[in-house]
Structure 1
Amino acid sequence: MNKYFKTTAIRTVKLMVVASAILVMPTSCKKWLEEKPTSYYAADTFFKDANEAKMAVLGIYESMSNNNTYGFYMSLVFDIDSDIAQMDGTGLSNDPRVAAHYAMTPVHIYVAACWQLLYKGIDRANLVIERIPEMDLYKNGTDAQKKDLARLLAEAKFLRGQYYFDLIRLFGDVPMKLKPTAATDDLQLPRTDRELVYDQVFKDMNEAIPDLPWASQKPVDERISKGAAKGMLARAALYRAGYSLRANELMERPAKYKDYYAITLKETKEVMESGEHVLNSSYEQIFRNHCKLILEPKESMYEVALYNLDGGLANSGVIGTWNAPVAADKNPYGRANSFYKTTALFQKSYATGDLRRDVAVGTYQLDVNAAKIEFTGTNDSKWAPGKWRRDWQNTGPKDLNNTDINWTLLRYSDILLMRAEAENEINEGPNSDAYLAVNMVRRRGFGKPLTTVNAAVDLPAGLNKDTFLAKLQTERAYELCFEGTRKSDLIRWNILGPSLRAAQAALKVYRAAYPYVAGTNFVDNKHELYPIPQGERDLNPKLSQNPKY
């Protein structure tokens, strides 16, 4: 099912890339128009029917399906280095290691490419949001046609909200534009306070949710469902409730931060009560499914579709090559360069019996015959994330570097952990709902029945607010490690710097020569945000720079 979707629907997305480029950036199509086109799409002739509207919406999704966003930069590079993982080695200038090791500069190509592609997605969304309500079918079509177009409009609103949320997480205050770009527009916009941008994120997502189908009401594909949208709104509210670096060079949280925890609580509770999503009884099976390109929306609620028919770079990712155990070039499953490493102490911190450890961390390499060779002794610094290992992919590679493995943005276990955190914050300590939510995640991790009390596995009763939060912070690491949320979590808790320094100190005690530099390189009240791309500032003098860059 998933393989069919990837083979057909992503071709539709790729067709939409052409259509969207003509719609949004007509001057970029010189090579295409050197020959007489068999068809031509323009804003004033497009959106004639629901199929064209769908093509336009798939073009918004396409901004995620790219190495510049979730195929590589936002999924892997921008979540590292953390207290549990790091990029291997050192580099210069525009190397990804520079970005990972807190040496990013405003001229690094990664921040520029990511910024531009997110705004391209926003501009595509703005066009859809403007044009669908103007369609005759939107007003006068059949009930089925109106429902279909309402869903497409909802998807555009949700994705615009998601992309602005991504920009806030990475860059703080950002320019906000809610109309499609026209030739006469003044594009020199100043940065908008993130609280106002968050207001728009919440507005877009809330307006989208009623017209989105539940997962059980739609085909099994990567388009957003109602439950996933609620979960992403819950995450946006959780981040808004947390700390972020402000223009005054201080880490601050909103005065009424509990209001946003209340949104997280509401949305996660409604997802849990919907019955649409459940935990997969096997933690390992989640990632075997990912590796085999099997969609499983009960747990894996929202995935970025990554696929290239021939294995090329466009619309593919490096999931399972950069963030997997080392695999020799000519082994049957394909090469893995394994630049993404976990720390030995993280692997050793899992409790005895926690089945997640050997899924999350690969302590071996694959030789040319695909035989496993364990890394022992001081080579434990070469241990790597194991969730997307080459030997689970179980197919010969189309390309040595690129894969078709989706990037998962939201799993149901995160819904449970967000619910537990929100309950703890709002009630000034954990209640029974908070305990149940986190203990279900823990029980699954230890292979126990999800709804049966287990004193050996469950968190101890009687924890206060701070102690419960500390336990939850650790639990999020064990459950969601290497899935793109760790560094952002540490930032919103305002403990990124201390966590990096504590990890480095512990690793140096473990072994003085252990290669880890994040604790030294990190600068408080600077590296919680990425720099505004210098190229954007050269074009737009109204853009101020983030602190200390």
Structure 2
Amino acid sequence: MKMNIKLIFLLGIVLCSSCKKWLEMPSEKEFDSETIFDNVSRAEMAVLGAYSSTFNRELYYQFGMGTDECFSTEGETNSKNQVANYVYNTSNIPTSTYTAMYAGVEYANVCIKNLPQMEAANEQEKRKLDMLLGESYAIRAMNLLNVVRFFGDVPYPKIPVVDAGTFNSSRVSRDTILDGCIEDLQKAIELLPWKGEGMVATPERFTKNAAYGVLARVALYAAGYSLRWDLNSYSPGSVKIAQRDDVNRITQLYEIARDACKAIVDRGENNLIAYETVFRDLVNGQYNVETMLEYGQYGANSNDGSISYTNGMFAHTNCMFGKAQPAMGALPTYYFDFSEGDVRRDVAICNYSIASDNTRQMNNYAGMTIGKFRVTWKAEIGTAINKRDINWPVLRYSDVLLMYAEAENELNHGPTALAVEMYEKVRSRAFNNDRAKMGATPSGYEDFKKAVISERKLELGFEGWRRTDLARWGILYETLSETKQKLIQLAKGEGPYADVDKYRAYKKEQAKSFLDPVVAVPFIGYSQAPTASEQQELNTQGYTLLEMHGNVSLFNANRTDATSAWITGLFRGLEKNKVEILPLNATTIDDNPGLQGQQHPLY
């Protein structure tokens, strides 16, 4: 966290009051007249307050699992495990993201109403007020996307609650909402400065660069597939996966996405850096030219501060790094999705845990963890073991390049030279620019689309987009069904996994300091158990032999057998044309009379 917590202290009462029900906001008129919109500095506090409700732990935790990358390691009776495995009901659906996003929308609405009424004393103040208004538009759009991509058609407030009178908002078509988000972001782009203009020192705040990137993201979601139903009848028979009906608008949306990405690339202020460095910088609060937008933790009291504790590597409570106890793991099939030589694999997936004596102990297949936010890479523990002061990567330049490639392919029904160039920039970085290892880039529309879909999984793993990306491509059910079958094949040692390592020999070595240079524990792989004499030689050389399908692991010590409960229960609630959009929690409907009778038709 680099922002000054004092800047948002005056808005704390607003945030606290929104934790229970986002609509229980204090009087905006009183708030305005007494404290905020009488000078630029205080107006900035209001905008910074909006940022505090742009992220929630659910976005990477409950909603980040249940993909072909990530699974829940909690028990089947745990609500987080249930949501991760599509066992939805109207009482176990999380509400924090919904609440937080609408609290941020309310902040933004208050700012959007009041900022244009302020008079600037000089050109410098005018630029600052324009920037603050641009940030407000961008925040509103980003938050609404986060609600829509999980819940579909939802309320769409565009004015402060105090002006609306009694809050009573019904569902609005997601097409209308996302089109409104696009308009907001286009306004934001007009008002915001480029990062290179020097007005914004941190990627924790929107710049024109970031607004263009989020615009591309919104446009792709708006053009994509979604689970839809008739908002008049709410008939279960009307539920279907489909794009919007307006084909011309879909084309326009792909054009908007393409042009937004082009603006970023042409500007030349962002670039790719070494993949490992991206995440070492992230955990240590260092900015770089690749990460375009981050969520800052806003001080030690943030309840979103479990990044690396919940979604990182395992570290024993007695080790020097302090306890890290992930509740989510990397699917072992994801490990094998990476081609040999892809440097992203060992960054994204941590193949070791830290024991009580600081020893790096190799993980078995079931115990592989998320490596991008590992505690060993930090310079210090941080505020607390579950509040490590690690920012969240909202938007990276590599994402922009892949969105560019995707939009070009859709618009031209096949990859243009430009689409190939954008795709290959990302893939080349993954192989340290060794084109011989990259493999050939597909030339047809369908094959290139599949390549982009795959590349987004490899590039953006565990960053919170996969679940809804699969839904917007209309392939969530198919992809996860295939993933489970692959996992069963891996457990049986069949098909493409017939020759994977069944044993690995490695040396137990201690991590001796923070900023640990180790990315992955080296090993010798065996497709069959080593002979007795080979094992004796390994012992003599100081190696430890690990059965990769076995249950010896510091984290998630389960066997990888086809009958193991964590495998048989994976995606157990998956049902096509039903789970692609979550139902609303019953309390969410009870709190808003306008939603009465407007539950997801299949719940």
Q: How does the TM-score come out when normalised to structure 1?
A: 0.88
What displacement does 1:10 show?
3.1
Matched, 1:125 2:108: yes
Please, which of 290, 294, 299 is the counterpart of residue 286 of structure 2?
Answer: 294
Matched, 1:547 2:527: no
Which whole-Å deviations, capped at 9, do the CAs of 1:271-297 have from their partners, x for residues lacking one?
A: 1000110001x100000011111122x
Map residues 227-376 of structure 1 onto 2, 5 A cutoff.
Answer: 227-247=209-229, 248-254=238-244, 255-256=246-247, 257-280=250-273, 282-296=274-288, 298-309=289-300, 312=301, 314=302, 316-375=304-363
Checking the alignment, whether the CA contact within 8 Å between 2:223 and 2:253 is kept in structure 1 is yes
Q: Which moved more, 1:141-150 or 1:410-419?
A: 141-150
The corresponding residue for 2:122 is: 142
The corresponding residue for 1:447 is: 432
Checking the alignment, whether the CA contact within 8 Å between 2:308 and 2:374 is kept in structure 1 is yes
Q: Secondary structure at the match of 1:502?
A: helix
Map residues 435-474 of structure 1 onto 2, 5 A cutoff.
Answer: 435-448=420-433, 454-457=435-438, 459-460=440-441, 463-474=443-454
What displacement does 1:216 show?
1.8
Matched, 1:57 2:40: no
Q: Secondary structure at the match of 2:366?
A: helix
What displacement does 1:18 show?
3.4
Q: Secondary structure at the match of 1:182?
A: helix
> Quick one: distance in 2 between partners of 1:100 and 1:20?
28
Which whole-Å deviations, capped at 9, do the CAs of 1:404-443 have from their partners, x for residues lacking one?
A: 1111111000011011111111111111111111111111
- In 2 relative to 1, CA 315–22 (structure 1 residues): closer, same or farther, beyond 3 Å? closer
- Structure 2 residue identity aligned to 1:168: V
Checking the alignment, whether the CA contact within 8 Å between 1:497 and 1:522 is kept in structure 2 is yes
The corresponding residue for 1:33 is: none
Q: Secondary structure at the match of 2:5?
A: helix
> Quick one: distance in 2 between partners of 1:409 and 1:124?
20
> Quick one: distance in 2 between partners of 1:157 and 1:148?
14
Matched, 1:210 2:190: yes
Please, which of 104, 121, 132 is the counterpart of residue 88 of structure 2?
Answer: 104
Q: Which moved more, 1:363-372 or 1:96-105?
A: 96-105
Q: Secondary structure at the match of 1:333?
A: coil
Which whole-Å deviations, capped at 9, do the CAs of 1:167-225 have from their partners, x for residues lacking one?
A: 11111111111111118713111111111111210111101111111112234311101
Which whole-Å deviations, capped at 9, do the CAs of 1:455-512 have from their partners, x for residues lacking one?
A: 5425336x21001111111111111111111111111111111111111111112211
> Quick one: distance in 2 between partners of 1:26 and 1:440?
45
Q: Secondary structure at the match of 1:261?
A: helix
5+ long unaligned stretches in structure 2: 230-237, 492-561
- Structure 2 residue identity aligned to 1:130: K
Checking the alignment, whether the CA contact within 8 Å between 2:88 and 2:573 is kept in structure 1 is no
- Structure 1 residue identity aligned to 2:88: M
> Quick one: distance in 1 between partners of 2:591 and 2:217?
33
- Structure 1 residue identity aligned to 2:283: C
Checking the alignment, whether the CA contact within 8 Å between 1:88 and 1:341 is kept in structure 2 is yes
Please, which of 67, 75, 80 is the counterpart of residue 90 of structure 1?
Answer: 75
> Quick one: distance in 2 between partners of 1:50 and 1:397?
33
What displacement does 1:28 show?
7.8
The corresponding residue for 1:32 is: none
The corresponding residue for 1:428 is: 413
What displacement does 1:300 show?
0.3
- Structure 2 residue identity aligned to 1:388: F
The corresponding residue for 2:546 is: none
Matched, 1:42 2:31: yes
The corresponding residue for 1:36 is: none
Checking the alignment, whether the CA contact within 8 Å between 2:52 and 2:298 is kept in structure 1 is no
> Quick one: distance in 2 between partners of 1:467 and 1:267?
24
Please, which of 217, 226, 229 is the counterpart of residue 208 of structure 2?
Answer: 226
The corresponding residue for 1:390 is: 375
Q: Secondary structure at the match of 2:394?
A: strand
> Quick one: distance in 1 between partners of 2:304 and 2:69?
26
The corresponding residue for 1:13 is: 8
Checking the alignment, whether the CA contact within 8 Å between 2:137 and 2:184 is kept in structure 1 is yes
- In 2 relative to 1, CA 395–20 (structure 1 residues): closer, same or farther, beyond 3 Å? closer
Matched, 1:513 2:563: yes
Checking the alignment, whether the CA contact within 8 Å between 2:69 and 2:331 is kept in structure 1 is yes
Checking the alignment, whether the CA contact within 8 Å between 2:74 and 2:80 is kept in structure 1 is no
Matched, 1:162 2:157: no
- Structure 2 residue identity aligned to 1:59: G
- In 2 relative to 1, CA 124–21 (structure 1 residues): closer, same or farther, beyond 3 Å? farther
Q: Secondary structure at the match of 2:395?
A: strand
Which whole-Å deviations, capped at 9, do the CAs of 1:61-100 have from their partners, x for residues lacking one?
A: 1102xxxx43x1012221211112111132436x322221
How many residues matched? Answer: 511
- In 2 relative to 1, CA 27–391 (structure 1 residues): closer, same or farther, beyond 3 Å? closer
Percentage of matched positions with identical amino acids? 30
Checking the alignment, whether the CA contact within 8 Å between 2:22 and 2:102 is kept in structure 1 is no
Q: Secondary structure at the match of 1:42?
A: helix
5+ long unaligned stretches in structure 1: 30-39
- Structure 2 residue identity aligned to 1:118: M
> Quick one: distance in 2 between partners of 1:457 and 1:537?
50
The corresponding residue for 2:165 is: 185
The corresponding residue for 1:523 is: 575
* Cα-Cα RMSD: 2.3
> Quick one: distance in 2 between partners of 1:10 and 1:486?
32
- Structure 2 residue identity aligned to 1:360: A
- Structure 2 residue identity aligned to 1:539: D
> Quick one: distance in 2 between partners of 1:486 and 1:263?
22
Checking the alignment, whether the CA contact within 8 Å between 2:23 and 2:161 is kept in structure 1 is no
- Structure 1 residue identity aligned to 2:162: A
> Quick one: distance in 2 between partners of 1:20 and 1:159?
15
Checking the alignment, whether the CA contact within 8 Å between 1:526 and 1:547 is kept in structure 2 is no
Q: Which moved more, 1:143-152 or 1:538-547?
A: 538-547
The corresponding residue for 1:536 is: 588
Q: Secondary structure at the match of 1:542?
A: helix
Which whole-Å deviations, capped at 9, do the CAs of 1:93-139 have from their partners, x for residues lacking one?
A: 6x3222212123222362x22212211111111111111112233xx
> Quick one: distance in 2 between partners of 1:455 and 1:332?
41
Which whole-Å deviations, capped at 9, do the CAs of 1:285-316 have from their partners, x for residues lacking one?
A: 000011111122x100000111423xx4x254
- In 2 relative to 1, CA 183–428 (structure 1 residues): closer, same or farther, beyond 3 Å? closer
Q: Secondary structure at the match of 1:546?
A: coil
- Structure 1 residue identity aligned to 2:271: V
- Structure 1 residue identity aligned to 2:255: A
- Structure 2 residue identity aligned to 1:361: I
Checking the alignment, whether the CA contact within 8 Å between 2:375 and 2:381 is kept in structure 1 is no
- Structure 1 residue identity aligned to 2:591: L
What displacement does 1:525 show?
1.6
What displacement does 1:521 show?
1.7
Whichever of the two has the greater Rg, that structure is 2
Please, which of 480, 489, 500 is the counterpart of residue 500 of structure 1?
Answer: 480
> Quick one: distance in 1 between partners of 2:403 and 2:319?
40
